[in-house]
């Protein structure tokens, strides 16, 4: 069989229910998503042990699993089909389906419908994981987004300022519970695509702006694109290549702190002029011949 | 006081099938904050995911209150370190080729 629930829980095939319960609890303590934040591997393993426990802790499903293997849930209908096929034949054996005889099936159905004492255990549905891809500008605004998870549409509000890799839990939107158990949760991880103009560090945005030599030396003004519009930026005279100016409050929105923003840090990259005319060359030579001024 | 963002603990306990004494014990240990108004206890809606997480630790994983307390501190550290790692990764990304803007 492809998936061995006994192996997943690390118990023998004849393990008693108490041993299965103990093994599940031990693994659950190790792999539960609450104890392994942002660890998709642990989450996946936890889902496996959950499924294994759901099957093996219920005597009926365990019996079916022992008999039919991974496809135990379809075993019954498979068997009925086998029986119908058998009836249509004149005698013969039960075919090759596990080599079972009629008496064995009678035992199985006797157990299945014989009534089990006590309340059926409730199982919480599986937790699901999904990724939501946004660009930096979209993630900077609180907005509604509709997702389709397992065929169901879910409308969520994405708060401004979510970070790349950040995971939020949406309660009750995971797999359905069994026997009246609650639904699992949906863990949604945000993937924020890089922006061509801004990079984000915490709540600050960084941008690089090209500056022509003349503006760098003489100062001036330029229009700068920010997340919430264009601003006029004053360039001080004698601005050095690599100089950084901070625009307070023009950075990224701070998650769950409405109206608060980080800063925008603009790095100037001074571009030297190319393709000089002869006249410009002369002027630069004249400048070069001037007494040297101090350099920072 | 604005009560829109509060949920009564008895309502939470009935829905989640947990004991009120458990929530009060969490409050005593500083793991959740509860508010008392007119002889009823309330918890802020914002704290519900945390409260549910702690309830799962206790009821699903059989972790006692001392264990929950220790785990909470460890998880806070893990999450802090993960946050730091993510931020450092982003900062490092700024110096990779093609990410100079």
Q: What is the CATH number of the domain that holds A80?
A: 1.10.287.110
Report the phi/psi class of residue A195: left, alpha or beta, with left for phi > 0 and alpha for psi in -120 to 50: beta
- Are B49 and A35 inside 8 Å of each other by CB? no
Model confidence pLDDT, tens digit, residues A186-239: 888 899 998 889 999 889 999 999 999 999 999 999 999 888 889 999 999 999
How high is the pLDDT of residue A209?
Answer: 94
Task: Express each pLDDT in A11-47 by its tens digit.
Answer: 999 999 999 998 998 898 888 888 888 888 888 888 8
Mutate to test the interface with B, among A53, A162, A165 (most CBs of B within 10 A): A165
Domain-ending residue, one of A63, A91, A119: A91
Cβ-based contacts of A163 with chain B (< 8 Å)? 86
Contact A37 B82 (CB under 8 A): yes
Nearest to A207 among B60, B86, B101 (CB): B101
| pLDDT score of A109 | 36
Same structural domain for residues A231 and A283?
yes
Residue A91 confidence (pLDDT): 46
Q: In this structure, are A212 and A280 located in the same domain? A: yes
Q: What pLDDT does A251 receive?
A: 93
Residues A187 and A206 in one domain: no
- Beta carbons of A163 and A255 less than 8 angstroms apart: yes
pLDDT, one tens digit per residue, over B11-52 is 899 888 899 999 999 999 999 999 888 888 899 888 888 899
Q: What is the pLDDT of residues A71-125, one digit of tens each?
A: 777 776 767 766 766 665 544 444 344 444 433 433 333 333 333 333 445 667 7
Which residue is listed with tokens 């900062």? Answer: B91
Tell me whether residues B99 and A194 touch, CB distance under 8 A: yes
The answer to whether residue A173 is domain-embedded is yes
Is A188 in the same domain as A227? no
Provide ipTM, 2 decimals: 0.71
For A244-277, what is each residue's pLDDT tens digit? 999 999 999 999 888 899 999 999 999 999 999 9
Name the CATH architecture for the domain at B6-93: Orthogonal Bundle (1.10)
| Res A205: pLDDT | 94
pLDDT at position A86 is: 66
Beta strands A204-212; A264-271: pairing state: parallel
**What is the structure's pLDDT at B1?**
54
* CATH of residue A219: 2.60.260.20
Mean per-residue pLDDT, A169-184: 80
Q: How many domains does chain A have?
A: 3
Domain assignments of chain B as residue spans, ordered by start: 6-93
DSSP letter for each residue of B16-27 = HT--HHHHHHHH
Same domain, A234 and A179: no
Residue from A50, A268, A31 nearest B100 by CA: A268
- In chain B, the percentage of residues whose pLDDT exceeds 70 is 91
Residues of B in contact with A37 (CB under 8 A): 75, 78-79, 82
**Using the beta-carbon criterion (under 8 Å), do B49 and A169 form an inter-chain contact?**
yes
Point out the domain boundary residue: A27, A62, A91: A91
Same-domain check for residues A170 and A132: yes
- Do A215 and A180 share a structural domain? no
Q: Which residues on chain A are in Cβ contact (under 8 Å) with B82?
A: 37-38
Residue A107 falls inside a structural domain: no
Output the pLDDT for position A153: 85
Indicate whether A109 belongs to any domain. no
Q: What percent of chain A has pLDDT over 70?
A: 82
Are B93 and A202 in contact (CB < 8 Å)? no
Nearby residues of A274 by Cβ (< 8 Å), 6 or more positions away: none
| A81 in the same domain as A11 | yes
What are the C-alpha distances in Å from A59 to residues A65, A103, A107, A121, A122?
10, 20, 14, 11, 14
Q: Whole domain around residue A256: which residue ranges?
A: 199-289
Per-residue pLDDT tens for A152-162? 888 888 999 99
Q: Over 60: is that where the pLDDT of B101 sits?
A: no
Considering chain A, what is the average pLDDT of its residues? 82
Pairing outcome for strands A220-226 and A229-235: antiparallel
Q: Is residue A219 part of a domain?
A: yes
A179 min Cα distance to partner chain B (Å): 16
Q: Which residue has the higher pLDDT, A111 or A280?
A: A280
Residue ending a domain, among A193, A223, A246, is: A193
């Amino acid at each position: 069989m492809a998936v061995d629930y006994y192996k997943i829980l690390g118990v023998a095939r004849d393990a008693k229910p108490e041993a299965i319960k103990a093994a599940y609890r031990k693994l659950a303590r190790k792999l539960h998503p609450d104890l392994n934040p942002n660890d998709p591997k642990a989450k996946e393993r936890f889902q496996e042990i959950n499924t294994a426990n759901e099957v093996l802790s219920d005597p009926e499903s365990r019996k079916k699993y022992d008999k039919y293997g991974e496809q135990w849930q379809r075993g019954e209908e498979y068997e009925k089909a086998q029986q119908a096929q058998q009836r249509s034949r004149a005698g013969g054996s039960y075919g090759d389906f596990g080599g079972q005889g009629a008496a064995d099936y009678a035992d199985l159905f006797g157990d299945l419908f014989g009534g089990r004492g006590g309340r059926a255990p409730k199982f919480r549905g599986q937790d699901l994981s999904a990724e939501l891809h946004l660009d930096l500008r979209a993630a900077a605004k609180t907005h509604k987004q509709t997702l389709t998870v397992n065929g169901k549409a879910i409308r969520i509000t994405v708060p401004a300022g979510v970070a790349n890799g950040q995971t939020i839990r949406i309660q009750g939107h995971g797999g359905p519970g069994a026997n009246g158990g609650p639904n699992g949760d949906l863990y949604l991880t945000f993937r924020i695509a890089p922006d061509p103009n801004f990079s984000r560090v915490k709540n600050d945005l960084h941008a690089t702006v090209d500056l022509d030599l003349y503006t760098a030396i003489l100062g001036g003004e330029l229009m700068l694109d920010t997340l919430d519009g264009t601003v006029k930026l004053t360039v001080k005279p004698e601005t050095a290549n690599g100089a950084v100016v901070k625009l307070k409050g023009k950075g990224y929105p701070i998650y769950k702190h409405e109206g608060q923003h980080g800063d925008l840090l603009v790095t100037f990259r001074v571009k030297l002029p190319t393709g000089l005319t002869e006249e410009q060359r002369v002027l630069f030579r004249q400048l070069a011949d001037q007494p040297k001024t101090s350099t920072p | 006081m604005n009560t829109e963002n509060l949920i009564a603990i008895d309502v939470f306990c009935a829905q989640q099938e947990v004991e009120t004494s458990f929530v009060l014990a969490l409050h005593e240990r500083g793991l959740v904050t509860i508010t008392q108004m007119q002889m009823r206890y309330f918890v802020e809606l914002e704290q519900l995911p945390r409260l549910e997480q702690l309830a799962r630790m206790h009821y699903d994983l059989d972790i006692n209150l001392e264990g929950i307390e220790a785990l909470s501190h460890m998880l806070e550290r893990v999450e802090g370190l993960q946050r730091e790692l993510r931020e450092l990764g982003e900062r490092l990304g700024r110096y990779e080729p093609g990410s100079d803007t």
